[in-house]
Structure 1
Amino acid sequence: MASAPSNTCNMVSPDHGSSTTTYDRLQELKAFDETKEGVKGLVDAGVTKVPRIFIQPPDELDNKLSTHYPHESMMKKTVGSEIPIIDMEGIISSNVERRKEIVKAIREASEEWGAFQMVNHGIPDTVLEEVSHGIRRFNEEPKEVKMKYYTREAMKRVRWACNFDYSSVQQLIGEIHCTATWALSLLSQKIFQRHAEYSKHVKRLGELLLELLSEALGLNRNYLQDTDCAKSHVFLAHYYPACPQPELTLGSTRHADADFLTILLQDQIGGLQLMSNDRFKSSEHRVLANHKGPRISLACFFTSYPLTKAFGPIKELLSEENPAIYREVSVKEILSYYDSKGLDGNSPLDRFKL
């Protein structure tokens, strides 16, 4: 997330390469935020150009669009290949050899990529489709329906907003921020009816993945669950409208999530880096702006509760040859730092290295 160095910005016009305009960006951001209509409101108003508050300076945009690999192994794996796809078929059976195959695939993907795609994961296609449609329907409701959920208060159980922090963000993105209880408090609204069912499915899948990740680290299958590192889960739904000038901005800048495990549902396509002492990577990702749209994604973040519990590298994985890289830190401390620094393309864990 690129933030302006001051409240006053100099902007080179994309239409006239040499002309420069000075304006109060913070004031315009506040005015945009106070409409409580988000980016979808701009689309509904028929904008044909990206507002200047969302335009990325060309040099900064080039830097953010350039491929960045924090780990050499990830770079080698990425060139000429795709994110690993892991077939979960047979994982629930008593076939020990099949489970070992899946654990091996997850270990390799987690060490080299920090991410993988799953097929045959057990969540019915109808549930996936309907929860995606629910997100779309909510964002396409009249503004009067959505505005009552529009807030910047981070602790609200249900909130809808545009971007993360209006005072610093430059991404063109519409978001719904919500917790796992989101559907339970909104069941009277038809658009959220299937969210509760999806929540149950994704919780079971998350627990299974923690078992497999524990085994991939050579630990007892219940190890990670017993630490309560994923006792709670939070949902964040994204709605990316079609962008009229995608070459001038981003949907979401490069970032790593501030949780232990993320399961992402997309209509197109964590924290374990700390506990595994860098053995498992936390993948950096971003979202490009696009002429096509809207695009939908739903992220489920697994994290601890209470947030004050401290976590550090798993002692069973440490030795003289493999000393701790990170200090113990609470999720609350990580989230506080994550919110203060914004999506700047750097992992929040870097701050907590010894």
Structure 2
Amino acid sequence: MAAATDAVRGFHEADGGEGSDKARLYSREPARAVKYHCNFDLYQSPVANWRDTLYLRMAPDQPDAGDLPDSCRDALFEYAEQVKNLGSTLFELLSEALGLKPSYLTDIECNQGQIILCHYYPPCPQPELAIGTSRHSDSGFLTILLQDEIGGLQILHEDQWVDVTPTPGAFIVNIGDLLQLISNDGFRSVEHRVVAKNATPRVSIACFFSTHFHPASTRMYGPIKELLSDENPPLYRETLVRDYIKHYYSIGLDAKTAISDFRL
């Protein structure tokens, strides 16, 4: 965890001139597995976020080692492998929590896709006029987040923003929209944001588990039939993951708008 955080900080604080890894990787091309950019939703969202991002699509198809920056390649490949293992364990526990067999969520491929976003939030001269990351819920099934000691992450609880105080050696695990959808509200995705700060830069590494990286996938996801009954009817319509993600991206980061549009 420390090695990954240090590696990400080093990449973001390195020179970005001609010939640098930043210049080589800068792209807004959706299909690229490794890229450096800011604000994936720059042309959809009503506001821009005060952060830069190193984007890594690590599964189901791992990028070539040469695609990653030299300075953080080894640390991030190792981190991705360890977090993928942790995710598989969490999916087993979540399956059991729903009253299903431990392998249920992995059997339906909730853990097959892995994207890692390495965020860097520079000091902001006027934090009261900016936002680090806009209010949103995550689009996928599950998110495992590592944050440094700076803080700034908040979750929305009973219409109040609550600070998520950094705890050394701990991960933050978020339920995503798609897990809320297939669990029929058994689990609920959490709205969160990151406030801008004017002091020390903040680093976070978010690992998202989703399956929209295989556009040819025809697996439909809807409320799990074993969870449904006359007392617990389906609350959402079925969808291809790529169709849900396309709708989510068309809106940009914005509360929980996307999943509400799939409610029956």
TM-score (norm 2): 0.82
TM-aligned CA deviation for residue 229 of structure 1: 1.7
| Structure-2 residue corresponding to 1:306 | 214
The equivalent of 1:176 in structure 2 is 54
Q: Which has the higher strand share?
A: 2
Deviation at 1:166, TM superposition (A): 2.9
Aligned equivalent of 1:155, options 26, 31, 35: 31
AA aligned opposite 1:246: P
How much has 1:347 moved relative to structure 2?
A: 4.0
Q: What do the CA deviations read for 1:93-134 (whole angstroms, capped 9, x no partner)?
A: xxxxxxxxxxxxxxxxxxxxxxxxxxxxxxxxxxx1111111
Structure of greater Rg: 1
Q: CA deviation at 1:192?
A: 2.1
What does 1:179-194 correspond to in 2, within 5 Å?
179-180=57-58, 181=62, 184-186=65-67, 189-194=70-75
Distance 2:121 2:53 in 1: 8
Q: Distance in 1 between matches of 2:138 and 2:30?
A: 16
Compute the RMSD of aligned alpha carbons: 1.6
Q: Letter of the aligned partner of 2:232 in structure 1? A: N
Q: Residue type matched to 2:225 in 1?
A: K
2:189 aligns to what?
282
Q: Which amino acid aligns with 1:136?
A: R
SS in 2 for 1:352: coil
Is the Cα–Cα contact under 8 Å of residues 159 and 176 in structure 1 kept in the other structure?
Answer: yes
Cα deviation, residue 150, structure 1: 1.0
Structure 1, residues 306-342: CA drift from partner, whole Å, max 9, x if none? 3432101000000011000011111101111111100
Structure 1 segment 38-53 matched on structure 2, within 5 A: none
User: 1:203 Cα deviation (Å)?
Assistant: 0.7
The match for 2:180 is 273
Structure 1 runs of 4+ aligned residues shifted over 4 Å read none
Assess, with a 3 A threshold, how the Cα gap between structure 1 residues 300 and 346 changes in structure 2: closer, same or farther: same
Which of residues 251, 254, 267 in structure 1 aligns to 2:135? 254
Label 1:183 to 1:241 Cα distance change in 2 as closer, same or farther (>3 A): farther
Query: What secondary structure is seen at the aligned counterpart in 2 of 1:253?
Result: strand
Q: Alignment partner for residue 196 of structure 1, among 44, 65, 77?
A: 77
The Cα of 1:171 is off from its aligned counterpart by 2.0
What is the aligned partner in structure 2 of residue 322 from structure 1?
232
Mapping of residues 88-167 of structure 1, within 5 Å: 128-144=1-17, 145=20, 146-167=22-43
1:342 to 252, 255, 263: 252
Matches of 2:103 and 2:72 in 1, distance apart? 36
CA-CA distance at 1:292 after TM superposition: 2.2
**Matched residues in 2 for 1:216 and 1:260: separation?**
15
Residue 297, structure 1, aligned to residue 212, structure 2: no
* 8 Å Cα contact 2:41-2:253 kept in structure 1: no
CA–CA separation in structure 2 for the residues paired with 1:339 and 1:350: 14
Structure 1 runs not aligned, ≥5 long: 1-127
Unaligned runs of 5+ in 2: 150-165, 167-175
Shift of 1:187: 6.0
Higher relative contact order (CA 8 A, sep 6+): 2
Distance 1:310 1:296, change over 3 A: same
Alignment of 1:217-232 (within 5 A): 217-232=98-113
1:253–1:288: structure 2 CA closer, same or farther, 3 Å change rule?
same
Identity of matched residues, %: 44
Give the Å deviation of 1:211. 0.3
Cα distance between partner residues in 2 of 1:351 and 1:183? 37
CA distance in 1, matches of 2:25, 2:104: 38
Q: 1:316 to 1:331 in 2, by over 3 A?
A: same
2:116 is the counterpart of 1:243: no
Distance change (3 Å), C-alpha of 1:255 and 1:286:
same
2:34–2:68: 8 Å Cα contact kept in structure 1? no
Q: Give yes or no for contact 1:131–1:194 (8 Å, CA) kept in 2.
A: yes
Aligned residues: 227
Paired amino acid for 1:166: L
- Give the C-alpha shift of residue 294 in structure 1: 1.0
Show the 5 A alignment for 1:4-23.
none
Q: What is the SS of the residue equivalent to 2:118?
A: strand
